[in-house]
């Protein structure tokens, strides 16, 4: 009887092994995890990330994996007004043929930035590149060496509403 039971167990094990092989799986091969779906994001970066008086600082705002076409956008940008002086806004790599991309300082350290395509080309879904470039000149004469300031974007509007992260920030460090 024990010999019969052993044969039944072996047969069951072989049948189980055969069913795994038929599915293209082995008992030691787990399912590979699915690749994560691209996540939309807005980023902000400073170049350079540190500098002394009169250094020109470029702040680039980029978008990646947007979930819809973008033909118009808006946002607020805050910066340390005792450290940086706003000098201008220009189009990004993805908005070069747009009718307008601009910004205005509405109060010390606060900008309103926006753009619209007009007869230009909307950003296609899943784009990857810059949408606006903001320039500053370092002042910081009343601040100490090593003082760090945050440049942040928030309050996204129009076609970028809900794109994470919000806010998004970059740091700049004053050197003397």
pLDDT at 13 over 80: no
CATH architecture of 41-174: Sandwich (2.60)
**pLDDT over 70 percentage in the chain:** 82
CA separation for the pair 6, 9 (Å, rounded): 5
pLDDT band at residue 142 under the 50/70/90 scheme:
confident
**Token pair recorded at residue 104:** 């205005």
Delimit the domains of the chain by residue range: 1-31, 41-174
User: Is-cis flag, bond preceding 167, omega within 30?
Assistant: yes
Residues 30-84 pLDDT 10s: 666 777 777 899 999 999 999 999 999 999 999 999 999 999 999 999 999 999 9
155, 48, 104, 93 alpha-carbon torsion, rounded to 10°: -80
């Amino acid at each position: 009887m024990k010999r019969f039971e052993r044969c039944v167990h072996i047969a069951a094990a072989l049948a189980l092994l055969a069913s795994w092989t038929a599915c293209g799986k082995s008992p030691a091969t787990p399912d590979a995890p699915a690749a994560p779906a691209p996540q939309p994001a807005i980023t902000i970066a400073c170049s350079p990330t540190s500098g002394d008086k009169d250094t020109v600082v470029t702040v680039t705002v980029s978008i990646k994996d947007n979930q819809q076409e973008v033909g118009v956008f808006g946002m607020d940008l805050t910066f340390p007004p005792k450290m940086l002086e706003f000098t201008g806004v220009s189009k990004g790599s993805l908005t070069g043929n747009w009718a307008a991309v601009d910004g205005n300082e509405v109060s010390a350290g606060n900008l309103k930035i926006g753009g619209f395509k007009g007869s230009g080309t909307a950003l296609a879904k899943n784009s990857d590149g810059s949408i606006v470039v903001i320039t500053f000149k370092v002042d910081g004469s009343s601040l100490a060496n090593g003082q760090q300031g945050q440049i942040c974007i928030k309050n996204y509007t129009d076609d970028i509403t809900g794109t994470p992260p919000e806010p998004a920030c970059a740091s700049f460090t004053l050197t003397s």
